[in-house]
A and B are shown apart, each in its own frame.
Chain A
Amino acid sequence: MKARLTATLALTALITACSGGSDELRTQGGRYLTVVETLQNGLFQPEPELPNVTRALLDGLTVPSLEVTVPERDGLAYLVPLISRTDARLGPLDTWTTGDGTQLTLRSGILVATRGLGDDVTSTDRRGSIAFVTGGGDANWPLRLDIQTSTDGVERQDFNCTGQRNGRVTLEIVELTYPVESLSEICTDSNGTRIENQYFVDTRDGTVWQTRQWAGEKIGYMNTRILKKK
């Protein structure tokens, strides 16, 4: 009887664990609550329902839309512009965000940073890539990724790249077609790791409609598509 009462009380205690005030208490109870809250908020949230994207739906949008997929993580998200700015050295930069704060910063469609993905691309040197997709540049160029590590550091990865122009094709994105040039950026690092980024660039105004870009070993490749430009 006593055992049953005790078990009931213990169970009640676990279920009713709660707290108040703005300071996390550094007691066992405080830690327990942190874990419970994390599990509730972070890990066990249902997968969000994504809309069925049609051109009619996109036409109804008042803001541009960027689709991003991360095959390595089975990830798909639709991003909206957060801010556009011009950097003194790098030129225009567009930061896109999801509803829950995952951010991608692109310049001329080239990925220059991610935030909120985990194992993020902290910063990059993509000047060569940008020159390549905007029609200029050298025969070879460096590509640098600074990847966030799990020990709060940043790991630098340096590649040497060349470009390949694959000719003109027609690209379809949600019921609309664009005349684009297909470009490949082929890069290797000193360990022999080889990556291949792809870009589909509008032959009329240079818009980079669709890309596949390497974002470090943990994230793998990211695919971006502009669903709605303006």
Chain B
Amino acid sequence: MGAAFALVAAPTLSLAQGAGTTSQQPSVTSTLNFYGVPGLIDMPSGEPLPDGTLALSVSSFGGQTRTNATFQFSPRISGTFRYISIQDWNSDGFETYRDRSFDARFLLTREGRIRPAITVGLQDLAGTGIYASEYVVATKNFDRPFSLPGRVKVTAGLGWGRLGNLGDIGTPFGGNRPTFDPGDTGGSPSTDQWFRGPAAPFGGVEWQVNDKFGVKLEYSSDAYQPETSRGVFERESRFNFGAEYQVSRFLRVGGYYLYGSEIGVNAQLVTNPSAPPRAFTLAGPRPVITRPDRNANPEAYSTAWAPAKGTVTQQLGAAIEPLLREDGIRLESLTLQSTSRVEARVTSLRYSNNAIVIGRTARLLTATMPATVDTFDIILTQNSLPVTQVTIRRDDLEQLEFQPGAADLLLARTTLDSAPRGTDAETFVPDSLYPRFSWAIGPFVRPSFFDVEEPVRLDAGIALSAAYRPAPGWLIAGELRQRLVGNVEDTATSPSQLPAVRTSAPLFAQEGDTTIENLYVNRQWKAGKDTYARLTAGYLEQMFGGVSAELLWQPPESRLALGIEANYARQRDFDQRLGFQDYDIFTGHVSAYYDFGGGYIGQVDVGRYLAGDYGATFSVDRTFKNGWSVGGFFTLTDVSSAEFGEGSFDKGIRVSIPLEWLTGQPTTQTASFPIRPIQRDGGARLFVPNRLYPQLRDADARALREDWGRVWE
């Protein structure tokens, strides 16, 4: 018996994990250049990155450092955001020149048997930026050419602007282009200069010897005029060469000799949402328990309990609730609607994938419900909002799990619909559900990017956050922060022609050590069949407090959702305690959310912003089934570029990474990183906690279909 225990209890699983079990041989497809886009050394190449790839890189040579983030937004389109610093600039009022830039690339033709991949690229596409250039470039791969091992990639292109100023062949599209202006506010696409002025050819060869080593040789068409004229470095040659080494599936490093005078380095961190560092692993579920055969065991199907349905409901609910909690699911309510139908309202406590919640709830119902109950209505709720009703036949659960294509078969026989609001008098509601109190003490970090002196500034400290839920739909929450270290307060303040709704950030940092980050009351409820409502009041965010009301219309399976939000906001005291300043504003937006399919979600918000400006925010996100999302946004308002100041208008990029992608363990937590090249006062939106659309999206029927592959897991 003791031995049996040892074998049964041995928590073996070396089977499931094991470091590096998901890693594959690095089969290098495209490598990055010093600008963080697919390319040679300093020159771009014609092939895209694999779809969905997110590539971060840092390159440096001759005192110039470029930090780049490239995202392959679709198979043909990619975007790059870049932060650079150039030492020994010593002119235009800068000792070290720092700037931000955006690139966009479009793949014109995919590589074929004979045809090369051809890409057109816009580098530093806004304003008269230091790296402003355009190019058309072709790349062709040759496997084992001349019996050499590995793969050789040949690239040839034509560049304009910066890439057209050395060895030009004339001006194919004519025109002049303005020269680089270090003092330009930038920000707006400079379409009038694209492909204008002289054009010059560039090219090179990359030889990927094996999965680890590669060498590169290129001919550059960049004269580096702004740099050499300021003595940043001396350019002696048009040729660059170097070698690269693939350290791991994610990391590639290279060393180079550039322009006949400089040593350079490049580190490339390449990741893809569909290739997590660790496989998502979840302990197996409870088994589906099949009912006895009706003919052989008719007593099992007795409905003698029907008159005591209320009592039975309470007993079953009390039995199921702790088991579901053990499985990472909260039972919100249980109702036996008849002797043949049960409704269970559940919320995910652990899984970002709601199909797992549905599957595991259904499995437990097969083990606990009377045999006559043959239909399960499982309702996904999010923060007390019933979102989607999933109706599953018990027969299907019993029969389909081990059939070929089991997930698709079950989905085909399952109904997804809008969740009803109410429950009846006999409903079981766990006593532990309300009131509920949760708290956490942990570190916080508040970054501030792209100050003229320091690219990254940080405040960090300890935060106490707490949430109290007295009744369904009610939430009282807040966060108290104690800053321990930081230098955000040293950020240079720049004058603004608008009310200083965001440019006052350094003042908030200077006066606040012990602060209330937020403290608010939130009430939300399902207002109609497909509409949801929210009211929030209190200290909504670091800089503003007030009252916010929102209504969202989101039918199940609909690509379109519409929302309206109205807020009264008043600027908080810089010390971020209880007081307010004089500035207040009515702000609000009408929003449309559209799911284009394939993971592309668009959003337009039209309305009035914090500084009183009117306009619209446009955003597009590429979302992945596993919860990753990468996107960009920009806001155009009635504030002119001159009034707005540096950057001309508000824009930025955002990345959300589910923590379970990083750890392989289930959790609903997501890390989000919005990055703006610069935060000004125009187009600034009030931050309101618990906006409805993001809350509901994961539990929506469309999201559930995306998640469905894990329903049996």
B148 at the interface (CB under 8 A from A): no
How far is it, in angstroms, between the C-alpha of A156 and the C-alpha of B406 when the chains are bound? 11
Binds A, one of B101-109, B301-309, B459-467: B459-467
Asked whether, in the complex, the Cβ of A146 is within 8 Å of the Cβ of B14, the reply is no
B3, B404, B479: the one contacting A57 at CB < 8 Å is: B3
Asked whether, in the complex, the Cβ of A146 is within 8 Å of the Cβ of B443, the reply is no
- Closest B residue to A217 by beta carbon equals B24
Asked whether, in the complex, the Cβ of B15 is within 8 Å of the Cβ of A98, the reply is yes
How far is it, in angstroms, between the C-alpha of A19 and the C-alpha of B439 when the chains are bound? 5
Interface mask (A62-79 → B, CB under 8 Å = 1, otherwise 0): 110100101011111110
B341 at the interface (CB under 8 A from A): no
Asked whether, in the complex, the Cβ of B10 is within 8 Å of the Cβ of A51, the reply is yes
B18, B284, B467, B625: the one contacting A153 at CB < 8 Å is: B625
B626 at the interface (CB under 8 A from A): yes
A23, A27, A116: the one contacting B436 at CB < 8 Å is: A23
B281 at the interface (CB under 8 A from A): yes
Asked whether, in the complex, the Cβ of B7 is within 8 Å of the Cβ of A30, the reply is no
Q: Find chain B residues with CB under 8 A from A17 CB.
A: 440-443
Asked whether, in the complex, the Cβ of B663 is within 8 Å of the Cβ of A42, the reply is yes
- The interface on chain B, measured as residues whose beta carbon lies within 8 A of the other chain's beta carbons, has a size of 91
B279 at the interface (CB under 8 A from A): yes
Q: Find chain A residues with CB under 8 A from B710 CB.
A: 148, 152
Binds B, one of A122-130, A182-190, A201-209: A122-130
Asked whether, in the complex, the Cβ of B440 is within 8 Å of the Cβ of A33, the reply is yes
How far is it, in angstroms, between the C-alpha of A227 and the C-alpha of B251 when the chains are bound? 44
- The interface on chain A, measured as residues whose beta carbon lies within 8 A of the other chain's beta carbons, has a size of 94
Asked whether, in the complex, the Cβ of B11 is within 8 Å of the Cβ of A99, the reply is yes
How far is it, in angstroms, between the C-alpha of A22 and the C-alpha of B435 when the chains are bound? 11
Asked whether, in the complex, the Cβ of A20 is within 8 Å of the Cβ of B439, the reply is yes
How far is it, in angstroms, between the C-alpha of A154 and the C-alpha of B495 when the chains are bound? 55
Binds B, one of A89-97, A132-140, A165-173, A192-200: A89-97
How far is it, in angstroms, between the C-alpha of A187 and the C-alpha of B479 when the chains are bound? 59
Query: With A10-B485, A29-B440, A51-B10 as given contacts, are A35 and B659 in contact (CB-CB < 8 Å)?
Result: yes
Interface mask (A88-125 → B, CB under 8 Å = 1, otherwise 0): 11100101011111110101000011011111101111
Asked whether, in the complex, the Cβ of A123 is within 8 Å of the Cβ of B442, the reply is no
B253 at the interface (CB under 8 A from A): no
Query: With A24-B669, A150-B276 as given contacts, are A30 and B465 in contact (CB-CB < 8 Å)?
Result: yes
Asked whether, in the complex, the Cβ of A30 is within 8 Å of the Cβ of B14, the reply is no
Asked whether, in the complex, the Cβ of A75 is within 8 Å of the Cβ of B444, the reply is no
Q: Find chain A residues with CB under 8 A from B461 CB.
A: 10, 13
Asked whether, in the complex, the Cβ of B11 is within 8 Å of the Cβ of A21, the reply is no
Query: With A19-B441, A32-B443, A73-B18 as given contacts, are A102 and B283 in contact (CB-CB < 8 Å)?
Result: yes
With most chain B CB atoms within 10 A of its CB, the pick from A32, A57, A65, A152 is A152
Q: Find chain A residues with CB under 8 A from B634 CB.
A: none
Interface mask (B15-33 → A, CB under 8 Å = 1, otherwise 0): 1111001100000000000
Interface mask (B316-356 → A, CB under 8 Å = 1, otherwise 0): 00000000010000100000000000000000010001010
How far is it, in angstroms, between the C-alpha of A78 and the C-alpha of B658 when the chains are bound? 33
Question: Which B1-50 residues have C-beta < 8 A from chain A?
Answer: 1-4, 6-18, 21-22
Asked whether, in the complex, the Cβ of A72 is within 8 Å of the Cβ of B663, the reply is no
Q: Find chain A residues with CB under 8 A from B463 CB.
A: 27-29
A72, A89, A153: the one contacting B403 at CB < 8 Å is: A89
With most chain A CB atoms within 10 A of its CB, the pick from B436, B444, B462 is B462
B445 at the interface (CB under 8 A from A): yes
How far is it, in angstroms, between the C-alpha of A23 and the C-alpha of B347 when the chains are bound? 11
B667 at the interface (CB under 8 A from A): yes
B425 at the interface (CB under 8 A from A): no
- Closest A residue to B711 by beta carbon equals A122
Top-5 shortest CB links A-B: A21-B438, A29-B442, A101-B283, A118-B279, A115-B284
Give B contacts to A, CB under 8 Å.
1-4, 6-18, 21-22, 273-276, 278-285, 287, 289-290, 325, 330, 349, 353, 355, 399, 401-408, 432, 436-445, 460-467, 469, 479, 484-485, 624-626, 659, 662-665, 667-671, 706-710, 712-713
Give A contacts to B, CB under 8 Å.
6-7, 9-10, 13-14, 16-35, 38-39, 41-43, 47-51, 57-58, 60-63, 65, 68, 70, 72-78, 80, 82-83, 85, 87-90, 93, 95, 97-103, 105, 107, 112-113, 115-120, 122-125, 144, 146, 148-154, 156, 218
**6 further interface pairs, Cβ-Cβ under 8 Å (given A31-B669, A38-B667, A115-B285):** A10-B484, A27-B442, A68-B15, A70-B15, A118-B17, A124-B402
CB<8 Å pairs between A and B, sample of 25: A17-B440, A19-B441, A21-B437, A21-B438, A21-B439, A23-B349, A24-B667, A25-B466, A28-B443, A31-B659, A48-B14, A78-B7, A85-B290, A97-B284, A98-B11, A99-B8, A118-B17, A122-B713, A144-B405, A148-B709, A149-B274, A150-B22, A152-B353, A154-B709, A156-B405
